[in-house]
């Protein structure tokens, strides 16, 4: 058994010493000269946020991880070496493991040198600390092979207030010819616990972000994607790792990690012979050997993690605060309530039908109309998913007066206009396919293989990048009043081969990486030209929801499954990593459930609609209008508040969650019945100010319906509400209840 208090005392002494070491921009590089003159302990590097600390150190010239965990409570994640601190640490694990020398486990990095030597040895060269703001400090640690001009810099950006560390690597060499990189992890972290519990978020089209928690056994568990463009379709690049015991929302040690990369990824968890866990996170090396030319730099995507000593809830709040500040475009700005026509019309519309929907949008009080798929292509009109992709001109039959007419008609009704594009794709039935066969990913000497009747354009090719950027840029130049885009991507890679890479002499194995780099170049151009244009990130539902893409997008489409019951689970899954302001949740015709249930489920995210309002009864229409007004009065709490998941739909009949405003003056409590049982229970709140007095009100009730909750209309202290909670009573035909608590 570990003696934590003794360890913590040792740790404190050790930290004081470490802080002294870390003062100054560049230190210690002169102190280590491997292979000659290596001393046992040459340097100590502390990377810390307000509650978390990662401690690295050198042993015999090699960079080791000594500690990862809380910097307050003394809880220890990887701790073996602390027994010896401040003496010679003996048993720590590598901070960035290499292949081919004495490493017995998976390597973070692997290459073969030009002389055929397949091993890499990285020794510590020095470090630099850059204070980028009051919040952000970047630590750079440089490593080098003592025998070869091969260099790695490990970057650790510590976000003090959000308790998040963002980590990546840059790789460079000066050998005489290109080197093949076989492994190139962004992060390699180590853990020491009795047990490891991994929560993954897997799924499929229309069933995204299903949670599964398993105890890791000895050996390797990999969460990965090999899907290329629609990379997150089966698995999100995010996970929760609980140490010792499975953590709850409020208890236990947990690390929440996510890779900021919109392509093939690999999260590898290796429990070794000694029961220690070695985590590798990065781009998927599977089939992705990369040829790195001398003096060019290979930059890995960033891996972000946060550590919580008090359960999963705190881990989510940390990451989501970070995402709202740094990770999602304009997350401090308001969003629009929109009406989308996809589920309302599919491909079957013309301009009269659309203008009629504008009327409904105005009447109902939404801000924006979003025209979905089906508006374009003439030689091969886009009347179903089997034609037209790539030909981004208005279809003359459906829209004889063009988009200009639509934007003008929308403006007359004081409704903004948005439009759908899927610029990375092409149907074989299209003029683009006829004009530019060389832009398409497809194998030589094999038949074309289709998914949703389409193929992927080759974004590794700069000409294709120009074309893809031009789709949006062209529309904006012609119709500057377009106020919103939905960027879709409905196909993953299969049978992928780039004639561009062949032409420039690059191996095909680079395609998964170069595709995403090309995509990011286009996103960057989009943002340079249109910094604040709202764009929804969509990939046949949630096939591309990750921290790599979200800095370019204001929101994302979580799933094509809009059945509200299924959405409770799907949105619950996203809520671990992605803030509600970015999570689009639309009220649609899907699912035979009360309209109130649909509205309440949409209100826990960024609410929108995808339905024909003329199909609603007058009282339903009134309910929707009132609901939009209600949402607009509380949306800031959903968008900027801290999330507390209270009762999990995975564990019982009820899902309950709340958002608490930063000043703790206003709170929203959402409750959803997820089975057909009748439920009467109290839901204790979390995160309130115990001494504040809150008045409880049930909101979004249909006209003439009274709240059945005894707390409604009464005032309670935060302490009381956290102890006894709010009583709710739900049954099959009244499946949800939403409460607003306001400080008196």
Best CA proximity match to 289, nearest among 458, 492, 513: 513
Stretch that binds ligand DGJ, among 534-542, 657-665, 690-698, 727-735 (CB under 6 A): 534-542
Question: How many C-beta neighbours within 10 Å does residue 449 have?
Answer: 11
Nearer Cβ to ligand DGJ, position 121 or 394? 394
Nearer Cβ to ligand DGJ, position 22 or 490? 490
Q: What is the smallest separation between the CB atom of 454 and ligand DGJ, expressed in angstroms?
A: 10
608 sits near ligand DGJ (criterion: CB under 6 A):
no
- The two three-digit tokens of residue 374, written as one number: 């089906």
Q: What is the smallest separation between the CB atom of 650 and ligand DGJ, expressed in angstroms?
A: 25
Nearer Cβ to ligand DGJ, position 342 or 576? 342
Q: Which of 560, 635, 642, 698 binds ligand DGJ (CB under 6 A)?
A: 560
Question: How many C-beta neighbours within 10 Å does residue 407 have?
Answer: 20
Q: Which DSSP state fits 324?
A: I
Nearer Cβ to ligand DGJ, position 342 or 578? 342
**Residue 430 near residue 389, CB atoms below 8 Å:** yes
649 sits near ligand DGJ (criterion: CB under 6 A):
no
Nearer Cβ to ligand DGJ, position 163 or 372? 372
Question: How many C-beta neighbours within 10 Å does residue 337 have?
Answer: 21
Tracing tokens 């900027």 back to the chain, one arrives at: 640
Q: What is the smallest separation between the CB atom of 723 and ligand DGJ, expressed in angstroms?
A: 43
DSSP for 200-220, written as a single string: EEE--TTS--EEEEEE--SEE
Mark residues 329-358: x for contact with ligand DGJ by CB under 6 A, - for none: -------------x----------------
420 sits near ligand DGJ (criterion: CB under 6 A):
yes
Nearer Cβ to ligand DGJ, position 233 or 683? 233
Size of the site for ligand DGJ (CB under 6 A): 11
Tracing tokens 């730099």 back to the chain, one arrives at: 297
Stretch that binds ligand DGJ, among 82-90, 255-263, 435-443, 533-541 (CB under 6 A): 533-541
Best CA proximity match to 340, nearest among 626, 584, 569, 617: 584
**Residue 540 near residue 233, CB atoms below 8 Å:** yes
375 sits near ligand DGJ (criterion: CB under 6 A):
no
Distance CA 319, CA 698 (A): 30
Q: What is the smallest separation between the CB atom of 592 and ligand DGJ, expressed in angstroms?
A: 21
372 sits near ligand DGJ (criterion: CB under 6 A):
yes
C-beta contacts of 126-132 below 8 A and 24+ residues apart = 126/26, 126/27, 126/28, 126/29, 126/30, 127/26, 127/27, 127/28, 127/29, 127/43, 127/45, 128/25, 128/26, 129/22, 129/24, 129/25, 130/25, 132/157
376 sits near ligand DGJ (criterion: CB under 6 A):
no
418 sits near ligand DGJ (criterion: CB under 6 A):
no
Nearer Cβ to ligand DGJ, position 236 or 736? 236
Q: What is the smallest separation between the CB atom of 433 and ligand DGJ, expressed in angstroms?
A: 18
Stretch that binds ligand DGJ, among 177-185, 537-545, 579-587, 680-688 (CB under 6 A): 537-545
* Residue of minimal Cβ distance to ligand DGJ: 373
Q: What is the smallest separation between the CB atom of 489 and ligand DGJ, expressed in angstroms?
A: 9
594 sits near ligand DGJ (criterion: CB under 6 A):
no
208 sits near ligand DGJ (criterion: CB under 6 A):
no
Stretch that binds ligand DGJ, among 193-201, 392-400, 535-543, 696-704 (CB under 6 A): 535-543
Nearer Cβ to ligand DGJ, position 256 or 425? 425
Q: What is the smallest separation between the CB atom of 209 and ligand DGJ, expressed in angstroms?
A: 15
Distance CA 448, CA 426 (A): 12
Q: What is the smallest separation between the CB atom of 387 and ligand DGJ, expressed in angstroms?
A: 12
Q: What is the smallest separation between the CB atom of 410 and ligand DGJ, expressed in angstroms?
A: 19
E-only strand ranges, 34-178: 41-48, 52-59, 62-70, 93-94, 109-111, 123-131, 136-144, 150-159, 164-173
Phi, psi of 571 (to 5 degrees): -65, -30
DSSP for 458-508, written as a single string: -TTSHHHHHHHHHHHHHHHHH-TTEEEEEE------SS---HHHHHTT--G
557 sits near ligand DGJ (criterion: CB under 6 A):
yes
Tracing tokens 């009282």 back to the chain, one arrives at: 619
541 sits near ligand DGJ (criterion: CB under 6 A):
yes
Question: How many C-beta neighbours within 10 Å does residue 708 have?
Answer: 15
Query: How many residues are recorded in the chain?
Result: 744
Q: What is the smallest separation between the CB atom of 239 and ligand DGJ, expressed in angstroms?
A: 24
Q: What is the smallest separation between the CB atom of 585 and ligand DGJ, expressed in angstroms?
A: 13
Q: Which of 373, 514, 555, 635 binds ligand DGJ (CB under 6 A)?
A: 373
Q: What is the smallest separation between the CB atom of 538 and ligand DGJ, expressed in angstroms?
A: 5
Q: What is the smallest separation between the CB atom of 207 and ligand DGJ, expressed in angstroms?
A: 13
Best CA proximity match to 211, nearest among 602, 565, 569, 585: 569
Best CA proximity match to 230, nearest among 210, 205, 252: 205
Q: Which of 461, 490, 561, 583 binds ligand DGJ (CB under 6 A)?
A: 490
Q: What is the smallest separation between the CB atom of 612 and ligand DGJ, expressed in angstroms?
A: 16
Q: Which of 540, 579, 605, 627 binds ligand DGJ (CB under 6 A)?
A: 540
Best CA proximity match to 415, nearest among 380, 363, 375, 379: 363
538 sits near ligand DGJ (criterion: CB under 6 A):
yes
Q: What is the smallest separation between the CB atom of 611 and ligand DGJ, expressed in angstroms?
A: 13
At a CB cut-off of 8 Å and minimum separation 6, what does 732 contact?
673, 676, 678
End-to-end CA separation in angstroms for the chain: 49
Distance CA 72, CA 56 (A): 18
Q: What is the smallest separation between the CB atom of 373 and ligand DGJ, expressed in angstroms?
A: 4
Q: Is 210 left (phi over 0), alpha (psi -120 to 50) or beta?
A: beta
Mark residues 469-488: x for contact with ligand DGJ by CB under 6 A, - for none: -------------------x
Q: Which residues bind ligand DGJ (CB under 6 A)?
A: 342, 372-373, 420, 488, 490, 538, 540-541, 557, 560
């Amino acid at each position: 058994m570990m003696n934590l208090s003794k360890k913590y005392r040792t740790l404190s002494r050790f930290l004081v010493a470490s802080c002294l070491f870390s003062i100054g921009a560049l230190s210690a590089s002169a102190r280590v000269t491997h292979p000659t003159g290596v001393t046992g302990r040459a340097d100590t590097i502390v990377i810390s946020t307000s509650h978390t600390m990662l401690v690295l150190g050198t042993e015999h010239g090699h960079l080791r991880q000594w500690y990862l965990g809380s910097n307050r409570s003394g809880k220890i994640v990887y701790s073996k070496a602390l027994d010896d601190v401040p003496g010679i640490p003996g048993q720590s694990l590598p901070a960035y493991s290499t292949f081919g020398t004495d490493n017995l486990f998976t390597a973070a990095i692997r290459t073969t040198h030009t002389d055929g030597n397949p091993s890499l040895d990285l020794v510590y060269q020095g470090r630099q600390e850059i204070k980028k703001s009051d919040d952000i400090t970047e630590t750079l640690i440089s490593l080098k092979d003592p025998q070869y001009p091969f260099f790695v810099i490990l970057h650790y950006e510590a976000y003090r207030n959000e308790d998040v560390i963002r980590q990546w690597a840059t790789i460079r060499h000066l050998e005489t010819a290109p080197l093949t990189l076989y492994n190139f992890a962004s992060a390699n972290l180590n853990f020491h616990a009795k047990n490891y519990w991994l929560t993954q978020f897997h799924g499929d089209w229309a069933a995204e972000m299903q949670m599964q928690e398993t105890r890791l056994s000895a050996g390797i568990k990999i969460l990965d994607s090999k899907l290329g463009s629609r990379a997150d379709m089966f698995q999100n690049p995010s996970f929760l790792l609980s140490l010792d015991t499975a953590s709850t929302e409020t208890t236990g040690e947990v690390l929440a990690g996510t890779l900021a990369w919109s392509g093939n990824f690999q999260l590898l968890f290796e429990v070794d012979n000694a029961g220690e866990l070695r985590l590798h996170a990065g781009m998927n090396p599977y089939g992705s050997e990369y040829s790195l030319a001398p003096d060019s730099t290979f930059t890995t995507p960033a891996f972000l993690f946060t550590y919580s000593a008090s359960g999963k809830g705190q881990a989510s709040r940390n990451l989501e605060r970070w995402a709202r500040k740094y990770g999602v475009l304009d997350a401090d700005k308001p969003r629009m309530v929109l009406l989308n026509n996809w589920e309302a019309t599919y491909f079957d519309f013309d301009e009269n039908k659309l203008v009629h929907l504008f009327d409904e949008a105005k009447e109902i009080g939404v801000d924006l109309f979003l025209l979905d798929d089906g508006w374009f292509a003439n030689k091969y009109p886009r009347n179903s998913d089997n034609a037209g992709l790539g030909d981004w001109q208005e279809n003359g039959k459906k829209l004889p007066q063009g988009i200009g007419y639509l934007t003008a008609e929308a403006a007359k009704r004081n409704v903004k206009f948005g439009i759908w594009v899927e610029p990375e794709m092409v149907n074989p039935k299209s003029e683009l396919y006829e004009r530019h066969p060389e832009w398409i990913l497809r194998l030589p000497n094999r038949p074309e293989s289709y998914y949703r009747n389409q193929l992927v354009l080759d974004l590794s090719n700069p000409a294709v990048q120009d074309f893809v950027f031009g789709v949006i840029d062209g529309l904006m130049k012609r119709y500057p009043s377009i106020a919103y885009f939905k960027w879709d991507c409905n196909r993953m890679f299969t049978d992928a081969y780039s004639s561009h890479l062949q032409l420039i002499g690059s191996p095909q194995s680079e395609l998964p990486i170069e595709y995403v780099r090309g995509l990011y170049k286009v996103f960057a151009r989009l943002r340079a030209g249109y910094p604040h244009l709202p764009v929804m990130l969509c990939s046949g539902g949630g096939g591309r929801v990750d921290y790599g893409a979200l800095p370019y997008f204001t929101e994302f489409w979580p799933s094509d499954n809009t059945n509200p019951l299924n959405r409770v689970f799907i949105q619950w899954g996203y809520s671990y990593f992605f803030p509600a302001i970015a999570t689009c949740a639309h009220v649609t015709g899907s699912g035979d459930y009360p309209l109130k249930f649909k509205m309440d489920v949409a209100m826990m995210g960024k609410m929108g609609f995808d339905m024909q309002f003329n199909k609603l009864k007058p009282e339903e229409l009134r309910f929707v209008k009132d609901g939009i007004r209600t949402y607009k009065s509380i949306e800031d709490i959903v968008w900027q508040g801290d999330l507390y998941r209270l009762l999990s739909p995975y564990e019982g009949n009820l899902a309950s969650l709340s958002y608490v405003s930063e000043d703790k003056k206003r709170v929203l409590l959402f409750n959803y019945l997820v089975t057909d049982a009748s439920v009467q229970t109290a839901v204790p709140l979390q995160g309130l100010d115990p001494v504040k007095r809150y008045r409880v009100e049930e909101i979004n009730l249909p006209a003439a319906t009274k709240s059945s909750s005894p707390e409604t209309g009464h005032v309670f202290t935060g302490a009381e509400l956290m102890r006894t909670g709010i009583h709710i009573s739900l049954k099959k035909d009244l499946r949800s209840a939403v409460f607003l608590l306001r400080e008196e």
